[in-house]
Amino acid sequence: MHLRVAVAAAWLLASQAAAQGIGDAETHPRLTTEKCTVKDGCVKQNTSLVLDASFHNLRQSNGTGSCGGYRGQFSKELCPDHESCARNCVFDGADYEGSGVRANGSALTLNMYRELDGNVTAVSPRVYLLDAQGEDYEVLFVKKGELSFDVDVSKLVCGMNGALYLAEMNKTGARSALNPAGAKYGTGYCDAQCPVLPFIDGVANIDSKGACCNEMDLWEANSLASTFTAHVCAQPGVYQCKGDECGSLGVCEKSGCAYNTWKLGNQTFYGPNTQPSSAAGSNATKFAVDTTRPFTVVTQFLTSDNPSPISFGALNEVRRLYVQDGAVIANAAVADPYMPPGDSLRMSHCQAGAALFDDLGGLATTGRALDRGMVLAFSIWNDDRQFMNWLDAGEAGPCTYQEGDPEVIRRTRPDTSVTFSNVRWGELGSTYNSK
């Protein structure tokens, strides 16, 4: 699939560049989602997916030469500045199957690795939800509501992370005269880690700025451990940081306010239920949420009914429920004696472990981002620096510090993947069934 679409150029130039392309236009995989109300139930949405811009080859508009960017430093000849990059470079369509993305109906499977000619290489896809027209991102408004999805993490081993999260990205992918590709080609990514990307707000990031925005991690997990985390930023929308602004004490709270049941003292709530060994005296842990089988994850965003003008309507709790075998499973309560009691993200919980989160406005800041609307992202990845220890090793989970080495995973579990399905959002109590 190689329709040439201009990354950044005037609209007329973009049309001319596209007309010069060879091959088929990019076809976005369809992923059916649903919007729900308590009264009328759920209505299917004809949404689709787009791979992040980094999966779209960036090349010379009148040839095959690389402009660099996601595959290396920008070409000094083709991309010395924003306007030149706009004039000289175009995106090619992405290879979804080759990038580990498979969608079928309401189900999305992301594969970490690709095997080709006997070689196993990492692809680590990240995709975003597009609206029914396929031109812009679907913007979700879930404050005072909920979002649910089914997930199969059975193939996610120690060190893996299958993630579903909200980011305060621009609806159009920062489409402009300098970026006619826009959301249709996966541009405009940002998160609370303020990543330094080749493009920021859709134009060449010549100055190496960070792309910061509010982020709500609804799900980061493998089959051994899981967490959900709110990250806040001092600025709304996509903020371009520089220097210390991008750091750990900068414009965004990078660690976030997180809820990991294992880390909070409950080590029998989430994990794989396996058959006990026949050996005498052996036992298998019986987990409340069995990760060897699919289950439903429900995240609810509750607001304050305090009549004070300052507090009324502010987000004050992020609540988690699970459903498996038709039964609703309440989130595991905090068992750590050094943490405030409870079973959800509340400011008392956040203040105990995330000082900067409180300084930047806490859950109220997350609530304002939800008011403005956020974009849904799906990803699968591992970590060659920390081996994902923060998620599943030491105090965070049962994995050893070395199991998450990506080289170990690539060699022993090249089939590692995650499947998300039945994504729904709407009013409280409308997106899941219970007995």
Which amino acids are annotated catalytic? 215, 220
**Residue pointed to by tokens 């089959």:** 223
Query: Hey, what long-range contacts does 335-339 have (CB within 8 A, 24 or more apart)?
Result: 335/264, 335/265, 335/266, 336/263, 336/264, 336/265, 337/265, 339/264, 339/265
Q: Identify the three-state secondary structure at position 239.
A: strand
Q: Are 302 and 319 in contact (CB under 8 A)?
A: yes
Name the E strands within 95-244.
101-104, 107-111, 113-116, 119-122, 126-130, 139-140, 145-152, 161-167, 199-200, 203-204, 210-212, 215-221, 226-231, 239-241
Cα separation, 375 vs 368, whole angstroms: 14
Based on the number of CB atoms within 10 Å of its own CB, is 121 exposed (0-12), middle (13-18) or buried (19 or more)?
exposed
Q: Are 299 and 228 in contact (CB under 8 A)?
A: yes
Cα separation, 270 vs 192, whole angstroms: 27
Cα separation, 210 vs 194, whole angstroms: 5
Q: What is the C-alpha end-to-end distance of the chain, expressed in Å?
A: 46
CA separation (Å) from 169 to 164, 305, 378? Answer: 15, 29, 14
Cα separation, 414 vs 115, whole angstroms: 8
Closest of 347, 357, 374, 344 to residue 256, by C-alpha: 357
CA Rg, the chain, in Å? 22
Based on the number of CB atoms within 10 Å of its own CB, is 378 exposed (0-12), middle (13-18) or buried (19 or more)?
buried
Cα separation, 212 vs 408, whole angstroms: 32
